[in-house]
Amino acid sequence: KAGVTQTPRYLIKTRGQQVTLSCSPISGHRSVSWYQQTPGQGLQFLFEYFSETQRNKGNFPGRFSGRQFSNSRSEMNVSTLELGDSALYLCASSPGEGLETQYFGPGTRLLVL
Amino acid sequence: GQQLNQSPQSMFIQEGEDVSMNCTSSSIFNTWLWYKQDPGEGPVLLIALYKAGELTSNGRLTAQFGITRKDSFLNISASIPSDVGIYFCAGHPILTGGGNKLTFGTGTQLKVEL
């Protein structure tokens, strides 16, 4: 099976702009989770989507949002970008049945100038 | 957000040596997972543990789910240069409240000297 894919791999934006990142899960996986990774805070959970519904949410401001489509592909959006949003954004997929192993994509490296 | 306490923070070892790292939490976990991350890439799953006391091996890697459900360790035997990278523990806290939200450790950076 193909792994988790994320696009784009790299992105440069300026403060105040918005950005949309995309994730395609492993075929057959219905749960998609998003994480932010920074040197200072490590890996932090953003949110999880399952069957097009947000099932879990981390402690991030409302500028961070996401959605999931009927084919389980997911997007996350960050509006009004701040310098501190520069990070590696990771998407992970799992079958969706419970407390399962998550498989990660390569990430999108976002730089906010 | 909550993070697991992972130690050591970094290790610099000789090729062929055994490596041990661990992860502890003040709260109970339902699962423990160990991942390895190379620069610029996403974490790759190494071992998954689902029951207290479980001991699982994957080649030269061995990991255990602590009896108290508050800790886990990962051992790497006979390290080789490709073991270089950052190792993360992760798990599902008992109070996740459903869904699939992982809490991650702070990472152990492993460097191997030839």
CB pairs under 8 A between A and B: 77
Cα-based distances in Å from B34 to A3, A38, B5, B106: 18, 19, 14, 12
pLDDT of residue B114: 72
B62: three-class secondary structure by DSSP: strand
Q: Do B45 and A101 touch (CB under 8 A)?
A: yes
Cα-based distances in Å from B54 to B61, B72, B87: 14, 10, 20
Phi, psi of A84 (to 5 degrees): -70, -5
Q: Which residues of B touch A55 (CB under 8 A)?
A: 98-100
For residues A97-101, give the mean pLDDT: 75
- Helices and strands counted in chain A (H then E): 0, 11
A16: left (phi over 0), alpha (psi -120 to 50) or beta: left
pLDDT tens-place string over residues A20-62: 999 999 999 999 999 999 998 899 999 999 999 998 899 999 9
Q: Do B99 and A48 touch (CB under 8 A)?
A: yes
- Residue with the two structure tokens 């200072």: A40
pLDDT of residue A2: 78
- Alpha-carbon span B15 to A110, nearest angstrom: 35
pLDDT of residue B99: 66
The parts of chain B modelled with pLDDT lower than 70 are 1-2, 95-99
B108-113/B10-14 β-pairing: parallel
Averaged confidence pLDDT in chain A? 94
pLDDT of residue B105: 94
Closest chain A residue to B45, measured at CA: A103
Q: Do A50 and B33 touch (CB under 8 A)?
A: no
